[in-house]
Amino acid sequence: MTPSLARTRIKICGLTREQDVDAAVAAGADAIGFVLYAKSPRAVTAQRAAELARRLPPFVTPVLLFVNPTPTEVIAACALVAGATVQFHGDETPQQCWQASDAGRLPFLRAARIPLGEAGHSFDLLKYADQYSQAQAILLDAHVDGYGGAGQTFNWSLLPPNVDAHLVLSGGLTPANVTDGVRLLRPRCRSLAVDVSSGVEASAPDGSALKGIKDAEKIQQFVAAVRAADATPF
C-alpha cells in the first residue's frame, strides 16, 4: 500500500475569551469548542459562544459541546451559532443524539468515554461506532468524573487496528504526547483528528491549571507537534 500523508485536523476546546479564539485560529486550529455544560469551569452560554464564534474565519468550525441536553437546548443553541457541529459528551443514547441533532440535520460528534485501567479492555469501540453510526465522528476521551475536560489520557493501545470510522483522539493530550498519539492511531481508522483542552491551558503562579484560559504558546506548540506527526507517512 502506498504510504500516505494526512493532515490531522485539530480542535481546541473550552475557549471562553476572544484572545484565545484568535490565538487558536492563528495557530491553525480547524475547530473551536465551546462548552455549554453549566457545571464545567469552562462553560459559556449559547449567546457567548455565538459572540466568540463570530470571530471565526471561513472553514474554522465552531463546536458546541453538551452533556445530556434536551433537543430544544441543542436546536436553540445551534440557531445562534451558524455552521456549528454538536458534540454529545454525556450519556446520550443513539436515539437521543439523533433527536437532539434535529434528525441528523445538525452534524454531531459522539464522545466515547473510555474506562481507565483494566476496565478499558472491556470497551468495544467497534460496537460503539456501529451504534452511533449517524455521528460524523467518534471522539475518544477518558472516562472521568465530571464527564470530560480532565486532562486524563486513556490507554491508546486498546484501540482495534481497523476502525471504519472517523475518530478524534482526545483526553489528556499535550504538545509532548500528541505526536505519538497521532502516529499510533492514525493508521487504525478512516481519519484521525485531535482535540485538546487542559494541555493548552495557562497555569496560575502556584502551578494550578486555569481552566478556560488558554496559553497561546502552548497552542502553537501543540499544533507544531501535530504537524510533526503529519510529516511521517503511514
Total residues binding ligand LARABZUK (CB under 6 A): 27
- 101 binds ligand LARABZUK, rule: CB under 6 A: no
| Residue 13 is among the residues annotated as catalytic for this protein | yes
Count, residues in the chain: 234
Work out how close the CB of 23 gets to ligand LARABZUK at its nearest, in angstroms, rounded to a whole number: 16
Judged by CB, which is closer to ligand LARABZUK: 144, or 234? 144
Q: Is 173 in the site for ligand LARABZUK (CB under 6 A)?
A: yes
Give the residue with the Cβ less far from ligand LARABZUK, 89 or 110.
89
Q: Are strands 201-203 and 209-214 parallel, antiparallel or unpaired?
A: antiparallel
**Which one of 13, 78, 97, 189 is the catalytic residue?**
13
Task: Please name every residue paired with 193 in a beta bridge, in sequence order, or none if there are none.
Answer: 9, 168
| 195 forms part of the interface with ligand LARABZUK (CB under 6 A) | yes
C-alpha span between 65 and 138 (Å, rounded): 14
Taking the complex as a whole, the smallest distance from the CB of residue 69 to ligand LARABZUK amounts, in Å, to 12
Rounded Cα distance between 182 and 162, Å, is 15
Least distance between ligand LARABZUK and beta carbon 110 (Å): 11
Angle in degrees, CA 215, 216, 220, rounded to 5 = 120
Q: Evaluate whether 213 touches 20 at the Cβ level (below 8 Å).
A: yes
Beta-carbon count within 10 A of 143 CB: 19
Q: Does residue 199 bind ligand LARABZUK (CB under 6 A)?
A: yes
- Report how far apart, in Å, the C-alpha atoms of 41 and of each of 45, 49, 182, 213 are: 12, 15, 28, 10
Q: Exactly one of 28, 33, 69, 181 binds ligand LARABZUK (CB under 6 A); which one?
A: 33
How many CB atoms sit inside 10 A of residue 135's CB? Answer: 26
In whole angstroms, what is the distance from residue 205 CA to residue 22 CA?
Answer: 24
What x/- string results for residues 39 through 78 when contact with ligand LARABZUK is judged by CB under 6 A?
A: -x-x----------------------x-x-----------
Strand partners, 66: 88
The reply to whether 141 belongs to the active site is yes
Contacting positions for ligand LARABZUK (CB under 6 A): 13-14, 33, 35, 37, 40, 42, 65, 67, 89, 141, 146-152, 170-173, 195-199
Residue numbers annotated as active site: 13, 141
